[in-house]
Amino acid sequence: MQKLIECVPNFSEGRDEKIIRQITDAIKSTDGVSLLDVDPGATTNRTVVTFVGNPEAAVEAAFRGIQKAAELIDMRKHKGAHPRMGATDVCPFIPVSNASWEDAIECAQKLGKRVGEELGIPVYLYEKAAKDKSRSNLAVIRAGEYEGFSEKIKQPEWKPDFGPAKLNEKAGATAIGAREFLVAYNANLNTKSVRRANSVAFDVREQGRFKTEDGTPSGKKILDANGEPVRVPGMLKHVKAIGWFVKEYGIAQVSMNLTNIEETPLHAAFDACFEAASKRGLRVTGSEIVGMVPKKCLTDAGRYFLRKQKWSEGASEEELIDIAVRSMGLSELKHFGPQEKVIELKIESDSKSLVKMNLRDFCNETLSDSPAPGGGSVAALMGALGASLGGMVANLSAGKRGWDDKLEYFSKWAVKAQQLKDELLSLVDEDTAAFNKVMDAFALPKQSADEKTARADAIESATKYAAEIPLKVMEAASKSYELLAEMAEKGNPNSISDVGVGICATRAGIDGAALNVRINLAALKDEKFKSDLQKKVLKLQENSESEFKKIDQIVQSKLT
């Protein structure tokens, strides 16, 4: 699988659609990148662009965007509410899939060198790509903004990492880095007052506010033993925040950057703003995400709000995202479309998938004269249905009247069922993809001796992969027995027949997948590989039969 790097350049133009389009067209002209999101803001006069690609393509696309921005944007005329220092203010790289921090840092260094040398723009490396750790913080680099940079850059400690030690008057300066996934997130307030929005921002941001003698923002600052102002820390770690007024919405917002969404997730920022605003007689009426977010941000939020409701967390990803959107009011200002705002969903929307079909279409496609999807994909689907039935019983049990003390127990099993279901559904597509790889290998040329050797090697490799996928189906489906056993013993007794159907589907999925392993093994030459997989298949089938019989006895006894 190819490495995937995300790049999120911020351009200092949020009003002129023609300029924004020319910049994004330059980015899209690069082969191997997918433009995921373009989010302009008139008040900030800034556009956040998100795209993904392999490392080489990501660097090339970013360079083309920066080059076009330098051509079209004149920083001498720029005004906007957001801090900025260049036509391309900041350009971070973030590893997304099969990519490491080293890959992202290398991207930053390659791009910085090109921008500095070819475009004559001063470049500062920041965050994980920073050469000088004292300059790793973007806010420190950007302090003084464009207007103050002509003098700042003359200081020895502010010599840029790449490019001239002189401000490019038209294009300004640019920060290029490798960073954790940053979420730009704004909480909407029922006020137009920037001062009151700032008060909430100071309450929640990590930096907090200065401590004063009378407790007011305008009061005399209290100093520590070193003569430095004492700060009262805010409620949240890894959060930068300010208050501002957004003219197009007619409201004030708390504008936040969440720089570590593992430690301070989206829902924590929402609740902190809600709490701080309430103490000041204000109300958070909703919120907005600027740019795109990983799916985990919203699924974690959905589970959090379900916990607050004292309800089972074993909901599908789609339902969890919907709960998160509604709970945080993400559609208050403009429609929040998950397919456009969630990175994984945006990428998936551009690809064909069997699991996106409705039941009739899937059956029709299986029934057609095309060899794929075939038995392997159907076996994976049966396994997913077995896990789904176990999860259904868990959710029904979690919501059963009078079983409130068992909510957490059944909720955990429902979450486990969702994970198993998703894993097995992914294998529905993967099995078909594996079959297609075998067909592609057989289609390779075989005229010369070298071509014949290369073709034979490709067929052997693709066939091994095609055998390993149904083995994964067997392994994943086997995990459902533990779930179904618990539901048979302790679940809602009115759903015992669903457990019975669940174990039938699970066993059928495992046995069906075993057939697909065996038919692929028959074509292989690697005897050790064949022997190892045959042993694994036999053991998984034996365990499956044993588990099925044990659970079936419980089901039959409860039915009678």
- Any idea which residues carry the catalytic annotation? 82, 431
Candidates 240, 242, 239, 254; CA nearest to 191 is: 254
Amino acid symbol at 95? P
As a whole number of angstroms, the distance between CA 260 and CA 294 comes to 12
State how far the Cα of 111 lies from the Cα of 88, in Å rounded to an integer.
Answer: 13
C-alpha distances in Å from residue 186, one per residue of 256, 274, 287, 290, 531: 6, 12, 6, 8, 57
Identity at 139, one-letter amino acid code: A
| C-beta pairs of 205-210 under 8 Å, 24+ apart in sequence | 205/234, 205/236, 205/239, 205/240, 205/241, 205/256, 206/233, 206/234, 206/236, 206/237, 206/238, 206/239, 206/240, 207/231, 207/233, 207/234, 207/240, 208/232, 208/233, 208/234, 209/234
Return the residue matching tokens 């950007």.
142
* Strand pairing class (4-7; 46-53): antiparallel
Dihedral pair phi/psi, residue 131, rounded to 5°: -80, -35
Residue 57: count other Cβ atoms within 10 Å of its Cβ. Answer: 20
Distance of alpha carbon 179 from alpha carbon 93, whole angstroms:
7
300 and 267 Cβ atoms separated by less than 8 Å: yes
CA-CA distance, 509 to 379, in Å (whole number)? Answer: 4
**C-alpha to C-alpha distance for 93 and 60, rounded to whole angstroms:** 12
